Structure 1
Amino acid sequence: MTTLTRKDVEHVFESLRKGLVPERGIDAFGVGCEKPRGELHRQLDLAGNGEGTIKFLRGGYGCGKTFMARLALLDAQARGFATSFVVVSDNDLRFHRFDDIYRKVLAELSTTACPRGALGDILDRWIGRIEAALIAVGEDEQAADFDDRVRQRLDEDLSSLTGGQAPQDFIRVVQRVFDLKQAGDSSSAGALLSWLCGSGNVASSIKQTAGVKGDIGSRDALDYLRGVLEIVKAAGYAGLVIVIDEAETILRMRADSRHKSLNGIRQIADAAGSYPGLVWLFTGTPEFFDSRHGVAGLTPLHERIRFLQQGRFASLRQAQLALAPFDAERLRAVALRLREIYPAQDRARLETCISTTFVDRLVTEVTRGFKGDVGVVPRQFLRELVNQLDLVEEHADYDPMTEYGFRPDQLSAEEQHLLAGVSSSDVDAEDEALIPQEDVW
């Protein structure tokens, strides 16, 4: 089991109390997911060897798609990748606009050294590697022209790394950021970095210093991502892993936005192999993949990533990686792992009160409360478990075996829909026609 810091443990339990998937520490209680985790490791190996790949995590509500995606990012960073975790939203993320996706990817860009907005740190690391390489071949870092030599090497590397496929504005901005930093103008350098990350709020006077106009557009954003990817690798990282979580949110968009969003995914899938070292990881429900208002309605995308199953068997290596619902045994194992890492002052009492007998009872009562649908249970179950751990820790006379009784409350919209036996998407029947293929970027 992974050794957790006290800060990690606190983060895990605070997240679970709120019904959220923790961003770190989850490998300490990730049980029953060894096979899909192994397949995602295979994708990382492919990317580390210079391949560009795309994978789709498929599972119903409560199957742990977000958990597995978060775990994949932790594994990726442990293997030297930079990562980004983006949640599809119909509020602040229009998936049919790739400049929105690019901006989110860069905002959430993360490494082990920088948890968010890591492009500036990555760029500094790349420049540091250039300086170290020059010093290694005898250049004097104290020489008056050392910065000029670094600048020349930076220009040469930018040209060779991007192979002419990154926009010229991208190259000019990176060069200008270096010049501004060397001149001590960190404010202007930071503003240009914000522009490079997709911000639309950079003053035109700052952009003019780098010879650029306007903002990064939807049709250019994938090319800018290519440039970022090459800098990530030049900085010493194995590659980049991008998670697009909750793709089923697209089903709730207006028909025109939904069609364009699905066409955008098709274009990403078609182009994935031409981005060496980049892994795209999408999560979605079976309804998203199989319904005619989802992936199945866009024939070119559906044919490429169709889910194949022979009886009860499905290959892990196909485009869609199916996640199995939780069962009672897996819930029990997760509960015992969490009990093990819970920061108790009196561990003997905690393990006596939250015994395996009580854990079994908790599994039974929560599952029964959701009409036996274990797939709906995990979020509620974990909140119930953590609440019982907290009560035992806080109250010396609390006995869960005599006090506890489960009532399914504080349900999310998805949980309410599932218990009622209805679909969570709200798509008009007239939108069931096949989705026209178009290039939106």
Structure 2
Amino acid sequence: MSLNQGEARRLIRGLTRGTTIPDGVRFIHVGYESWLSAQHEVLEELPDYNGSETKFVKGHYGMGKTHFLHLVQEEGRNRNWVTAHLECQRDEVEIDRFETLYPKICMKLRFPHSDECPELKDRSDPMVTLIESWVSVVNNSAGVRDQALRRPVDAASRVYKELQKRLLTPKLTSDFKEALIALTMASLKNDIDTKNLLYGWFKGEDRKIQVPEDYLRQPDGLRTADRGK
């Protein structure tokens, strides 16, 4: 990542005000080597076991907490992580009320710097882009592309089996799993209305939704194949 003249000026102005900006923070950073090394190690290891970590950064006003967090976020994006940075007061978030936290995370998602993720180029609605990317990965893994139009039952069966494999993890709630299944199956049928309802749900909109039960059932073709075994 290079720094252009305008970005350099913004960084310098931020320093004169005693504030920091996320982009380009590594160009004005010194120190914290051991802390950053520890966080780099965490970012390196988490994908190996599909895990998660919670860390707290404690310090007095002006000691560089936000600066440090921006550095970790920048490193995460360089490693193809999707990140979000929130501040409780500015973003009107109450850390102990998830219903205030989750929608703001969805709004402030930032995608990786790397060109290895071309499917994440659309930044206009990051949560939708992220979910669409996941659905595309599922379909590709199931071998479903334009075949879905010619053999819809076969396509639905293969996609459903792929979803079952990917959603075995106990870390996801049943509602979240069902929403992912319904969205993926709705995408196969190009059901725009259901997809939009589910996008809103994933983004934390405060409303209850209903999706067609058929999207949550095992496809007929798959049930027949299972009975044949």
Question: 1 CA distance for matches of 2:76 and 2:141?
Answer: 27
**1:104 Cα deviation from its structure 2 partner:** 2.6
- SS at structure 1 position matched to 2:61: coil
5 Å-filtered alignment, 1:18-167, equals 19-50=18-49, 51-89=51-89, 92-112=92-112, 113=120, 118-135=126-143, 141-142=146-147, 144-145=149-150, 148-163=153-168, 165=170, 166-167=172-173
- Give the 4+ runs in structure 1 shifted more than 6 A: none
Indicate if the aligned counterparts of 2:82 and 2:110 stay in contact, CA closer than 8 A.
Answer: yes
Indicate if the aligned counterparts of 1:76 and 1:83 stay in contact, CA closer than 8 A.
Answer: yes
Amino acid at match of 2:31: G
Q: Deviations over 1:320-376 (max 9, x none)?
A: xxxxxxxxxxxxxxxxxxxxxxxxxxxxxxxxxxxxxxxxxxxxxxxxxxxxxxxxx
Q: Deviations over 1:37-77 (max 9, x none)?
A: 11111111221322432222222211111111111011011
Amino acid at match of 1:155: Y
Residue 198 of structure 2 corresponds to: 192
Q: Deviations over 1:247-277 (max 9, x none)?
A: xxxxxxxxxxxxxxxxxxxxxxxxxxxxxxx
Distance 1:18 1:118, change over 3 A: farther
**1:115 Cα deviation from its structure 2 partner:** 5.4
Question: 1 CA distance for matches of 2:173 and 2:47?
Answer: 25
Aligned-pair RMSD on alpha carbons?
Answer: 3.2
Question: 2 CA distance for matches of 1:106 and 1:25?
Answer: 23
Point out the structure with the larger helix share: 2
Question: 2 CA distance for matches of 1:152 and 1:110?
Answer: 34
| Ranges in structure 2 where 5+ consecutive residues have no aligned partner | 113-119, 214-229
1:169 to 169, 172, 175: 175
Does residue 208 in structure 1 map to residue 216 in structure 2? no
5 Å-filtered alignment, 1:230-309, equals none
Q: Which has the higher contact order (CA 8 A, sep 6+)?
A: 1
Q: Rg larger in 1 or in 2? A: 1
| Ranges in structure 1 where 5+ consecutive residues have no aligned partner | 212-441
Point out the structure with the larger strand share: 1
5 Å-filtered alignment, 1:4-23, equals 4-6=3-5, 8-9=7-8, 11-13=10-12, 15-16=14-15, 19-23=18-22
Distance 1:154 1:64, change over 3 A: farther
Question: 2 CA distance for matches of 1:125 and 1:149?
Answer: 22
User: TM-score, with normalisation over the residues of structure 2?
Assistant: 0.70
- SS at structure 2 position matched to 1:54: coil
**1:153 Cα deviation from its structure 2 partner:** 4.2
Indicate if the aligned counterparts of 2:106 and 2:127 stay in contact, CA closer than 8 A.
Answer: yes
Indicate if the aligned counterparts of 1:84 and 1:108 stay in contact, CA closer than 8 A.
Answer: yes
Question: 2 CA distance for matches of 1:147 and 1:121?
Answer: 24
